[in-house]
């Protein structure tokens, strides 16, 4: 069984959504993890937009990349855009999906815009996971 780690800085939004989407897509066909180089609390907007599509990530929590044995991963997928992503061991297959962080720290941003940014990130990640799944790992649904 393959192991996949989604990695970004805070492990609060993009990588948390990716973990939930990948767990839903792969079921028990892969071990799915997420972590960050500077973990923070899971963003409530990430929980909300995932709930909109029927995926509950409210029980997930932010983890430090230091707490995960990344040498045992088959794939590490970094989601950092403008931030500096953690260093990846050379023997691990590494994919980079640069996505802007929807967690906006500008206090004057309207909630409707924040939710829109989170939905866009969720949908981008979902499309990338679908493509990755079709090319790399078996899905939980048979294609026969």
Whole-number Å distance between alpha carbons of 127 and 41:
25
DSSP letter at 64 equals B
> Is 80 annotated as catalytic?
yes
Of 4, 5, 7, 8, catalytic: 8
Of 10, 46, 65, 80, catalytic: 80
Strand segments, DSSP code E, in the chain are 2-8, 30-36, 75-78, 93-96
> Is 78 annotated as catalytic?
no
> Is 84 annotated as catalytic?
no
Of 18, 22, 50, 85, catalytic: 85
Q: Please compute, for residue 105, the number of CA atoms within 13 A of its CA located in the half-sphere on the CB side.
A: 2
Active site residues: 8, 80, 85
């Amino acid at each position: 069984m393959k192991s996949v780690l989604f990695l970004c800085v805070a492990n609060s939004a993009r990588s948390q959504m990716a973990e939930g989407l990948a767990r839903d897509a792969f079921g028990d066909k892969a071990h799915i993890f997420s972590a960050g180089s500077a973990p923070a609390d899971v963003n409530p907007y990430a929980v909300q937009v995932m709930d909109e599509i029927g995926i509950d990530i409210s029980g997930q929590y932010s983890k430090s990349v230091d707490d995960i044995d990344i040498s045992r991963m088959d794939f590490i997928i970094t989601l950092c855009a403008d931030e500096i992503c953690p260093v990846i061991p050379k023997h691990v297959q590494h994919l980079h999906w640069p996505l802007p962080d929807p967690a906006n720290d500008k206090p004057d941003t309207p909630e409707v815009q924040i939710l829109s940014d989170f939905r866009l990130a969720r949908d981008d990640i979902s499309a990338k996971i679908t493509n990755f799944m079709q090319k790399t790992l078996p899905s939980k649904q048979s294609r026969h």
